[in-house]
Amino acid sequence: MSYFSDLAQQYIAGSWSSGSGSWDIVDFNPYNGDKLASIAVATTDEVDQAYRSAERVQREWAGTNPYARRLVFERALRIIEEREADITAAIIAELGGTYLKAAFEIGLTKDMLREAMQIALRPEGRILPSPVDGKENRVYRVPVGVVGVISPFNFPLFLGMKSIAPALALGNGVVLKPHQNTPIVGGTLIAKIFEDAGLPPGLFNVVITDIAEIEDAFLEHPVPKVISFTGSDYIGRHVATVAASHFKRTVLELGGNSALVVLEDADIDYAVDAAVFSRFAHQGQVCMAANRVLVDRSVEQEFTEKFVAKVASLRVGDPADPDTQLGPLINATQADHLSTAVNEAIEQGATALLHGELDGTLMSPSVLTGLAPDASILHRELFGPVVLLVPFDGEDEAVRIANDTPFGLSGAVHTADTERGVRFARRVATGMMHVNDGTIADEPIVPFGGEKASGVGRLNGEATVDAFTTVQWISIQHGRSGFPF
């Protein structure tokens, strides 16, 4: 099948249909500008239909034996494995992802489906003691009901599935709103996978739309009890505010400004490799990417020479070419904003060891150093192939610089002394920190999430169970209670 023609529709209540909005979301290939699909937007009425459908079907799904539920995810995994070549082509076309990036995202997605098989069996109830004689306290863990998921454009298949698959496995219904730049890979492709895997029709729905059409209807609707959002901190603040005003829980996986720290005893060649991958994977469009590379001044010259040489060797171009390492940014607006930020930093005194050229949505790498501590570019997320080299004198200064950011998602430290690395990592205010590795990592049973402006809540493993279930206390009085009147 042709994903961009056959799946360019809404998926609501188990049916494929055109949106009833008066305008279209147009899906473009970010590398060559080719039009991939045109999709009439969903309206507030269709958002309502999607949520109501998920609510109706969820009641029966929640009562389904979890061993039966897990079979859906086994079949979904096989479908992805059988269609991996087609999914890879779709990621390259719609996201501008390279072959390496596509393989990485698909691998993570398959791992998440394997985890969903296990998570279906994970909720456990408890029996708790009581100070009242003859009373039995039971605590049941139950699905929240319906989850609203808003996915991003950078890893839309995986980051959508990261919430969708566990939420479904735990007995919930789901409505997904994918990013406008990735409506197929991040939206209806997932619907097709689950449809073919035998998920009950109507339990999972996809609405392709925009806030210009529906405003906050996706967040304000009375049906969803949890909103899972992955995206920028700016939009995340709005999501949190609206959801809280309607007494909804949120899981917010937001941006980052991660630091990869190279201490004086690090393996320099290995640290260079880790830093290059941590900054330039998927053109730097990764929330965990190492925006800042902090290097002890005693090894600054050696590291910088080797780092710049390796970055300069990265091949930029057509993501459909297997030799390409850096493809396009998602759209021209993102590319222009990033190029402007680089030029402003240079005007304010930064030194460009490499000054990336902009050609449409293709941007070659920039490496900046000599930044003033208050330079604005040091304190923001850079979603593209730009890296900031910052020297430091000693661990205390490195910790201070690493923490000098409103974000706290990921990070890494390189040292010959593993326990020294652990001690350093524990001083950094971030949700995740990696010793002698890159900043980009995600494993299906390890809690994933950030501190400060990088988000609220965690996903993966037991954290996901907490996110998409709630508890109910039921007490049983054996015999008679005594009442004061």
Catalytic residues, by residue number, are: 253, 287
Residue 479 CB burial class (10 angstroms; 0-12, 13-18, ≥19): exposed
Whether 346 and 375 have beta carbons less than 8 Å apart is answered as no
Q: 9 is written with which tokens?
A: 């529709």
Packing angle between helix 395-403 and helix 418-425, nearest 10 degrees? 40
* HEC letters along 112-130: HHHHHHHHCCCCCCEEECC
Residue 406 backbone dihedrals phi, psi, to 5 degrees:
-75, -10
Q: How far apart are CA 359 and CA 356, in angstroms?
A: 10
Q: How far apart are CA 237 and CA 51, in angstroms?
A: 23
Task: Name the DSSP letter for residue 388.
Answer: E
Q: 407 is written with which tokens?
A: 């974000």
Q: How far apart are CA 39 and CA 4, in angstroms?
A: 10
Pairing, β 455-456 against β 249-253:
antiparallel
The residues, ordered by sequence, that sit 6+ positions from 478 with a Cβ below 8 Å of its Cβ are 134, 135, 136
- Which helix or strand (DSSP H or E) is residue 476 part of? strand 469-477
Angle CA 145–182–55, to nearest 5? 15
Q: Where are the beta strands (DSSP E) in 219-267?
A: 226-230, 249-253, 259-262
Going edge to edge, which strands form the sheet with 434-435? 351-354, 366-369, 386-392, 292-296, 259-262, 411-414, 434-435
Q: What is the sign of the dihedral through the CA atoms of 285, 288, 184 and 112?
A: positive
Q: How far apart are CA 209 and CA 177, in angstroms?
A: 7
Q: Rounded to an integer, what is the distance from CA 308 to the centroid of its chain?
A: 29
158's torsion region: left (phi>0), alpha (psi -120 to 50) or beta?
alpha
Q: 77 is written with which tokens?
A: 């995994």
